[in-house]
Structure 1
Amino acid sequence: MRRVIALLLVALATLFAGPALAKPAAPLRVLYLDQSVGWKHAPVARPEGGGLASSEIAMKAIGEESRAFTAEVTQDAREITPERLQRVDVLVFYTTGALPLLPEVWAAVQQRVAAGKLGFVGLHSATDTAWSYDGPGETYTQFINGHFAGHPWTQGTPIRIETLDPDLPVVAMWPVGFDYAEEIYQHSDFDPSKVRVLQTLDFAGAPLKRPYAVPVAWARQIGQGRLFFTNLGHTPSTWDDPRFRKQIVEAVNWTGGRTSGRATPDTSRQFLWQLKALLAYEPVAGRDDKAIIGRLMEMDPAWQTATAKRIADLRTVYPQKPDSDRAPFEAAYKAVLAEVQARGGVR
């Protein structure tokens, strides 16, 4: 009898002690690079008298408050070495210009990401960064999937953002559709087949439009590793927004492998938003845009891909200044619009 009681006591002790003995996962180790080679944004500008930039202070505080990560900061890419990368779980870039990153270091970054040993997060001007590289893997622009090609939406410009995957932790803190004020980049060298767009500009009713889609945030699966980029972060007040701070936490968690979430490329949905941008550019009273889009979403995928590219390429001929020649843009715009309307059933 005593033996039975003893065994029961041991079992109960094990049952209740088990969870208490479980140790929480150690905070992820973040290395935040906010080096500027050329233009320098306010959040990465260090005080003349010394000290950290506001985004560096924020990055450290966000990690401490969330207990999700610890952050080291540097404004010198030369401090990143293959050896140091072995002590980093997530690399975060808020950078501009041609970084002095050695070829062997960039190769090591890509190898560790592909092996699932390193996550990568790009903030705002991380896409205004590039340097010559002919080593193994991809160039930086190919890796992050885009390069700065202007920002019609400057600081303080009212914008509307649509969150496309509100169930994913990296964007779940934002409403499905919301108004904001930020500087937003448009990009060249963007390959829709490589990424899943998680947020995009919504031009319906927006004061400043373009006839092509402008992604705001995207995710990419690279081998066993993950990459996340967001356009946000230019405006200092954005860094005080609890939603943006939460997004940094979740981006670190996701790229660091602590949370799940799909990064499957969404080319069909990106085609949908190219159509929405094209049709919203010059609204036509009585035209049933919803019906047009519905018909076109049933079209041959090869035609959809080609048409999405034609719409995206309107960026390259869009007039950069009020007095620029609009003829090349008007010709390309009217041609693709005419085909979209015709195939969509407009007579």
Structure 2
Amino acid sequence: MKKVVKILLWSILTIIVLLGGAMSIFVYKVKNGFPVSYETESPKINFPANQPAVLLFSKSTGFRHSGSIDASKPIVADLAKKNGWFLYETEEGGVFNAEQLAKFKVVIFNNSTGRVLNDEQQKALEQYVENGGSLMGIHGAGDNSHHWDWYVQNLLGAEFSHHPIKPQFQKTDVLVDAKADSSITAQIPQPWSHTDEWYVFFENPRKKGFNILYTINGETIIPNGNIPLLASDKNFGMGKDHPVAWCKQIGKGKTFYTSMGHDESVWNDQNFVKLIENGINWTMK
């Protein structure tokens, strides 16, 4: 009997250790991504004349939002047809060179997570924006796995902390900011109801000079992101003024970010899709 109990206890301990190890690996991947190779070969792209070009970049080396990424591609393709854009969709970083970037009106980090570009490619993107290009980010593009100071300062204006755990997805009203650019908020109801995984940041990008487009009332959600044994200090939110979409002029260029967009369901929300469409058109002005 004692032998059976001993075997059972060792089995339970082994399971706990394995689960703990698996969770630790998962958290590390979310925060840092896994080591990757960087694509450096420039692709062959035939840019049509008289069509503004959009680069939809969906590479991820951290947590992959596969549902949202897969759902977004046909939606953005439809928007491109509707608006007369040339859309180039890729997960290869070789396109991030000065010559080819200069031909795009906007680059979209479509739930891109982790380190996705090498140092030279990052520098090319920085110079592209500062010289007049535009960079957009959707949801996962704003997590803390990128480890890129320029990117955090100029696209996000804030450092990601966590997202709610229980419940992970919550429904609340998205509120237009009083000073929002009307060209980005056009044809979107005020307010509109939306369900998403609401990111919590340590700072409010409003304080860093970003133009806030949409907020939620952070007091209407449960922001607690604590994870037993792994994170015990994530039981805070951003307060009543909780931005969820913002933009800024960077040098001669522009940045636009929305923390909405976690899974495939958001691409069925026509208000969210309209925000993305308006945002792309705004970057092209």
Q: Would you call these one fold, judging by a TM-score over 0.5?
A: yes
In structure 2, the residue matched to 1:306 is none
For 2:273 and 2:193, how far apart are their aligned partners in 1?
18
From 123, 133, 137, give the equivalent of 1:122: 137
Runs of at least 5 residues in structure 1 that lack an aligned partner in the other structure = 1-24, 46-52, 258-347
For 1:71 and 1:199, how far apart are their aligned partners in 2?
26
In structure 2, the residue matched to 1:74 is 90
User: How far did 1:29 drift?
Assistant: 0.4
In structure 2, the residue matched to 1:244 is 272
Q: 1:86–1:247: structure 2 CA closer, same or farther, 3 Å change rule?
A: same
Alignment of 1:34-53 (within 5 A): 34-44=58-68, 53=70
Runs of at least 5 residues in structure 2 that lack an aligned partner in the other structure = 1-48, 224-236
Relative contact order: is structure 1 or structure 2 higher (C-alpha 8 Å, sep ≥ 6)?
A: 2
For 2:92 and 2:268, how far apart are their aligned partners in 1?
25
- Say if 2:82 is the partner of 1:65: yes
Residue identity in the other structure for 1:199: Y
In structure 1, the residue matched to 2:36 is none
If the length of structure 2 is used for normalisation, what is the TM-score?
0.68
Alignment of 1:152-301 (within 5 A): 152=164, 156-164=169-177, 165=179, 168-188=182-202, 190-191=204-205, 192-203=207-218, 206=220, 208=222, 210=237, 212=239, 213-257=241-285
For 2:147 and 2:222, how far apart are their aligned partners in 1?
34
For 2:145 and 2:176, how far apart are their aligned partners in 1?
28
User: How far did 1:127 drift?
Assistant: 0.5
For 1:157 and 1:44, how far apart are their aligned partners in 2?
17
Q: 1:143–1:130: structure 2 CA closer, same or farther, 3 Å change rule?
A: farther
Corresponding residue SS for 2:257: strand
- Say if 2:151 is the partner of 1:140: yes
Higher-strand-fraction structure: 2
For 2:50 and 2:247, how far apart are their aligned partners in 1?
24
User: How far did 1:102 drift?
Assistant: 2.4
In structure 2, the residue matched to 1:11 is none
Checking the alignment, whether the CA contact within 8 Å between 2:180 and 2:214 is kept in structure 1 is no
In structure 1, the residue matched to 2:229 is none
CA deviation vs aligned residue, 1:287-320 (integer Å, no higher than 9, x gap): xxxxxxxxxxxxxxxxxxxxxxxxxxxxxxxxxx
Q: 1:230–1:173: structure 2 CA closer, same or farther, 3 Å change rule?
A: farther
- Say if 2:113 is the partner of 1:89: no
For 2:127 and 2:63, how far apart are their aligned partners in 1?
29
CA deviation vs aligned residue, 1:199-235 (integer Å, no higher than 9, x gap): 111246x253646232110111112211111122113
Checking the alignment, whether the CA contact within 8 Å between 2:96 and 2:125 is kept in structure 1 is no
- Determine which structure has more spread, i.e. the larger CA radius of gyration: 1
Residue identity in the other structure for 1:159: T
Please identify runs of 4+ aligned residues in structure 1 that moved more than 6 A.
Answer: none
In structure 1, the residue matched to 2:55 is 31
Checking the alignment, whether the CA contact within 8 Å between 2:136 and 2:255 is kept in structure 1 is yes
- Say if 2:75 is the partner of 1:55: no
Corresponding residue SS for 1:161: strand
User: How far did 1:251 drift?
Assistant: 0.9
Residue identity in the other structure for 1:179: S
Q: 1:76–1:254: structure 2 CA closer, same or farther, 3 Å change rule?
A: same
For 1:203 and 1:129, how far apart are their aligned partners in 2?
20
User: How far did 1:95 drift?
Assistant: 3.2
Checking the alignment, whether the CA contact within 8 Å between 1:166 and 1:176 is kept in structure 2 is no
Q: 1:200–1:102: structure 2 CA closer, same or farther, 3 Å change rule?
A: same
Checking the alignment, whether the CA contact within 8 Å between 1:96 and 1:129 is kept in structure 2 is no
Corresponding residue SS for 2:64: coil
Alignment of 1:320-335 (within 5 A): none
Corresponding residue SS for 2:208: coil
Corresponding residue SS for 2:162: coil
Checking the alignment, whether the CA contact within 8 Å between 2:60 and 2:116 is kept in structure 1 is no
Q: 1:177–1:99: structure 2 CA closer, same or farther, 3 Å change rule?
A: same
What number of residue pairs does the alignment pair up?
219
For 1:96 and 1:90, how far apart are their aligned partners in 2?
15
